[in-house]
Chain A
Amino acid sequence: MRRFQARVYAVACSYMRNAEEARDVAQEIFVRVYERVESFHGDRAFLPWILRVSRNVCIDALRRQKARPRATDVLSEETVQVASEGPTPEEATASGSARDLLYRAMDRMSDSDREVLMLKEIQGLKVEEIANLLKIPIGTVKSRCNRARLDLAMRVRRLDPSYGA
């Protein structure tokens, strides 16, 4: 668990966009892994398997969240605005300014672009593994990933023109 906890927590943060919820969901992911570890076949790589479990748990949590909005979601508009302008979990824990910049840029991307970017460029999954995980064609993964990278690059440039110079 200690070997994968940081990775799983990063994935949960990417999906949930809230530190507390990400921690709860990451814990739930490990509970699910504990329950279903027998379904993991040893001849396959563990990382894609645990990322699949993580994605499923995060999607379940997001669905529950949609069905039963949190108390903060029904507070006044001002409260919500203040909350949304605050740092995201990654921003809160990011140490370097480059990381902070990347998190801010990714926070404004679409969910599908951010997901494929997270799986390929950040977690380092192969295109075939992502296609299998997301159940989409390999060509779609490639084009979506190229588009997401370019989108992120343009957002980063807008936020910090000196990045990469």
Chain B
Amino acid sequence: MTDVTCRTFIERLDDLTEGRLSPADRGAAEEHLRSCPGCRELERVAAEAGDPVAPPADLLGAVLAITSGSTCGSARARLGDHVDHLLEATDDEMVRMHLEGCDECDRLAAVLARLAADLPSLAELEPDARFVPGVLARTSGRATPAAVWTARLAAGWRRLAHRPRIAWEGAYAGSILMLLLFGAPNAPFADVPGRALVLVRTVQASLPAESAALEAPRIGLALRSRWTGMKARIQDATHDATTTVKRRSSAAWDRLKEELGTMWDRIASGRTRR
């Protein structure tokens, strides 16, 4: 190297100050120094700077600890996403660098990776053989939702009907309902009773007198015949019920007497033995 420019000299300045140049290159560089005051000044400054100070080994960890808290804590907060490859490139690289220097976090990452593979296998757990028959038994006898609601309404009505004062309550509620529908001045059917009365009177007035006289005995006859039939049915039903009650009560009385007699005999025999 015989012809050294300023650019070439600057590129080789570090090698020159640290003594790594070959003798030929060193001679050429020194020759350039003699002819170039700018490069001479540069060489002087570089020589005065001396060796650079090596940073302490834990400098990076110490800086991170001050600026972002525990490095392990920060890394662990991102460990799940690191295992799932969801981190951005920069964050992922930082976590990876941390794992290279931290055995504990590295082992945790390995456990997390294994968990990601193992946990989905727990999604299913076979129940025992009684399971399916049990479900079928509980669902096969079940009615449709409509039937279920009907049954619930019927049960509710039965409970209501067993209330001791249901008759009074029903009459009271019915009266209020009738009053609201027909009796109040602004009720929706307030004019119905009046119109019905007018209608009846109109029909009555329009009937001819002779037809009414003919119809009256026929209606009376029909009523009497119906009453006679109904009375006969009521008498028959009453007779049957009385007979049944007599028969059952007689049998029950006989059994009671027999059991009382047996009991008395036992008591008497016990007394005799004593």
B interface footprint on A1-29 (CB within 8 Å = 1, 0 otherwise): 11001110110010000000001001100
Q: Tally chain B residues at the interface, Cβ within 8 Å.
A: 34
B272 CB–A CB distance under 8 Å: no
9 closest A-B pairs (Cβ-Cβ)?
Answer: A6-B124, A164-B111, A10-B125, A164-B114, A164-B110, A153-B111, A9-B127, A121-B119, A146-B80
Q: Name the segment of B31-39, B137-145, B228-236 touching the other chain.
A: B137-145
Specify the chain B residue showing the minimal Cβ separation from A93: B125
- Interchain nearest-CB distance for B85 vs A (Å): 15
B131 touches A26 (CB 8 A): yes
Interface of B, secondary structure class, is helix
Binding site for A on B (CB under 8 A): 76-77, 79-81, 107-108, 110-116, 118-128, 130-132, 134-135, 138-139, 142, 145
Indicate if the CB atoms of A9 and B122 lie closer than 8 Å: no
Question: Which residues between 81 and 124 of chain A lie within 8 Å of chain B, taking CB atoms?
Answer: 89-90, 93, 98-99, 102-103, 117, 121-124
User: Taking beta carbons and an 8 Å cutoff, which residues of A are in contact with B?
Assistant: 1-2, 5-7, 9-10, 13, 23, 26-27, 30-31, 34-35, 38, 89-90, 93, 98-99, 102-103, 117, 121-124, 145-146, 149-150, 152-154, 156-157, 163-165
Chain A residues with Cβ below 8 Å from B130 are: 23
Q: Looking across the interface, which residue of chain B has its beta carbon closest to that of A163?
A: B111
Complex contact B122–A156 (CB within 8 A): no
A55 to B267, CA, bound (A): 66
> A156 to B115, Cβ gap below 8 A?
yes
For B108, the chain A residues whose CB sits under 8 A away are 150, 153-154, 157
Partner of A165, one of B107, B123, B127: B107
| Complex contact A146–B81 (CB within 8 A) | yes
Chain B residue nearest to A89 in the complex (CB): B125
